[in-house]
Amino acid sequence: MNIFDKFQPLAAARQSIEQQCSAFFNIVMEEIISATEAVVNGRRMILAGSNNYLGLSFDTDCIKAACEATRRAGTGTTGSRMANGTFSGHVALEKELADFFRYRNTIVFSTGYIANLAMLSTLVGPDEVILLDADCHASIYDGCRLGSAEVIRFRHNDVNDLEKRLRRLAKRNTNVLIVVEGLYSMLGDRAPLADIAAVKRKYGAYLLVDEAHSLGVLGENGRGLAEETSMEDETDFIVGTFSKSLGTIGGFCVSNHRQLDLVRYASRPYVFTASSSPGIIASTRKALNILRTRPELRRRLWKNADMLYQKLQNLGLSLGPESSPIIAIRQEDKVEALAIWNRLVEHGVYVNLVLPPATPDGGALLRCSMSAGHTSEQIEHIGQAFAAAYQTAQTG
């Protein structure tokens, strides 16, 4: 048996998709023009599938900070945080994140994915339990698999199902960590955090909220769903990423538990991963400062999100349950979804096409992400492209 034989079903699925839409696996961003435009396979396109919520990836101050740090400290650290990879910038960013979130302690990781791997594989151990929302991100599932805790799923945003499982676990007298997301990445819906926190408090559990998509998006100060719902004091751990609203790459965990620092010494993903480069850290610090001092970016983001959500809703499309910067169009038929995605590309609009098993309900999703950087003219063009793509599908 060939070592690659087990991938034959995957190869067959890929071949089937390529026959229906040859461009799907061959998307190359040949030139990035701005936070909202790129040349893709020779065609200039509006980027309506990026998670660049505040449009900071092209901010001149962020770029300047990255260049200056690179000239001063080099292109990389060439070591993990536990070896030679902790620079003064890493320490400064951790202090600034703690101050921003108003939590005592912070750990910065090289990616948001690693932040979840590190925390979930280390924080909860043998004979302890992780209760996670069924729609949680792959990095959360992988973090759970990497660790030795028992993992139990509860139905998406179903507090009654969560409480039923907590009630059963109460007899075991063990530590339970509840894991949810502030803003879910597929459909853009929020966790019912106040109700979850009440159940958590009732049963003496711990609560971790992944604010990857809600940092810079939700809350009066952009701290996420925990801030928006006034549940920061009830949230034991907040995990997030720099690769959405902050426009860079990296991850973090903040907590009021003084023992958080011990995770540094126990977590293999932290101990054995090279730390973020000086340029990334510097641009992240600048982006965090912009997030704190320019709330108009968040207001513009929501104006754009509401505008596109309304346009697509007026077309009669099947959308996620509420307006958010993540706007997902449900499509039951995978073949039709591929065809519509291809027509959008032909109209100069790039969105994410998400296929099973990555989707929460087994269907396909055409997933848009709005940015503060989008202009009203671009949003109008996106709406027109969807109208044309679906009209062709109906007449087609």
β-bridge partners, 39: 31, 44
- Distance from C-alpha of 356 to C-alpha of 157, rounded to nearest angstrom: 20
What are the tokens at 330? 């449900």
Q: How many residues does the chain have?
A: 396
d(Cα 344, Cα 381) in Å, to the nearest integer?
A: 11
Place of tokens 């805790």: 149
The Cα 178–Cα 162 span in angstroms is: 9
Q: Active-site positions?
A: 185, 213, 244
The tokens for 55 are 């449009």
| Bridge partner list, 208 | 179, 237
What is the C-alpha separation between 313 and 380, in angstroms, rounded?
A: 14
What is the number of other CB atoms lying within 10 angstroms of the CB of residue 293?
9
Which residue is associated with the tokens 């034991």? 236
Strands (E), the chain: 29-32, 37-40, 43-47, 105-109, 129-133, 150-154, 176-181, 206-210, 237-241, 251-255, 326-331, 349-350, 352-354, 364-369
Spatial distance between the Cα atoms of 136 and 142, rounded to a whole number of angstroms:
10
CA–CA dist 70, 282 (Å, integer):
9
H/E element holding 311?
Answer: helix 296-314
Cα distances (Å, whole numbers) of residue 328 to 49, 181, 218, 384: 10, 17, 18, 16
What DSSP string runs through 8-59? Answer: HHHHHHHHHHHHH-TTTT---EEEE-SSSEEEETTEEEEE-S---TT-GGG-
Peptide bond into 325 cis (omega under 30): no
123 SS3 class: coil
